[in-house]
Amino acid sequence: MHPNHPDLAAELLRRRELDQAPRLRQPMDAREMMAVDTGNTAFLKSVIEAHGWPGYRLVGEEASSAAWLIAQHADLDPAFQHQVLILLAAAVEAGDAAPDHLALLTDRCRLADGRPQVYGSQFARTPDGLQPRPIEDPDGVDDRRRSVGLQPIAEYAALLEATWAET
């Protein structure tokens, strides 16, 4: 699918690279990451104000994914993440965004609200290794994950463990 706004798509992809740079560099520079997240959040807010959620039809699948990543990392503005959650839910319903992105942002928002996550996407380092943060109905988590196209939580945990072991 060709995006209706190729310049906007290109800028979202550029900002995804900005998002990832401080996260991939070792040691991670938390101040740089927060500065990038703040700038990217402000940019995405302006995009949403002008166009609504930048879904597949507007910017294409890859750039829409970049927009989701920016929203996922907008932890300094949880009210904005909740706003995006509503927009993203409508976009998923319309086939204009990925269900797994909605699931991951749902978990992020619930944890920010002090509630257990639904899909088990958020983990924390503990003395016993990586552990999922609290999950509502942990026995049903793999069914919920499967329903949105996510792998079983044990596979995801092993992938995270391997990835975090490299850092």
Q: Which of 9-23, 101-115, 153-167 has the lowest mean pLDDT?
A: 153-167
Please report the pLDDT score of residue 114 as a whole number.
97
Indicate whether 4 pLDDT > 90. no
pLDDT of 164: 74
Angle between helices 61-72 and 78-93 (to 10 degrees): 150
- In this prediction, residues 18-27 reach a mean pLDDT of 90
Q: Is 98 helix (H, G, I), strand (E, B) or coil?
A: coil
Please report the pLDDT score of residue 1 as a whole number. Answer: 57
Pair 40, 18: CB distance under 8 Å: yes
What is the reported pLDDT for 2? 64
User: What is the reported pLDDT for 139?
Assistant: 97
Q: Is the pLDDT at 167 greater than 70, yes or no?
A: no
User: Is the confidence at residue 96, as pLDDT, over 90?
Assistant: yes
pLDDT of 166 higher than 70? no
155 is written with which tokens? 């596979």
Residue of 94, 95, 89 whose CA lies nearest to 118: 89
Asked if the model's pLDDT at residue 68 lies above 70, the reply is: yes
Q: 45 and 2 in contact (C-beta within 8 Å)? A: no
The first and second tokens of residue 25, run together, are: 């560099």
pLDDT surpassing 90 at residue 115? yes
Query: Residue 28: its pLDDT value, please?
Result: 83
What's the rounded mean pLDDT across residues 43-70? Answer: 97
> Would you call 84 exposed, middle or buried from its count of C-beta atoms within 10 A (0-12, 13-18, 19+)?
buried
Mean pLDDT (the chain) is: 95
* Exposure of 48 in the CB half-sphere (CA atoms within 13 A): 21
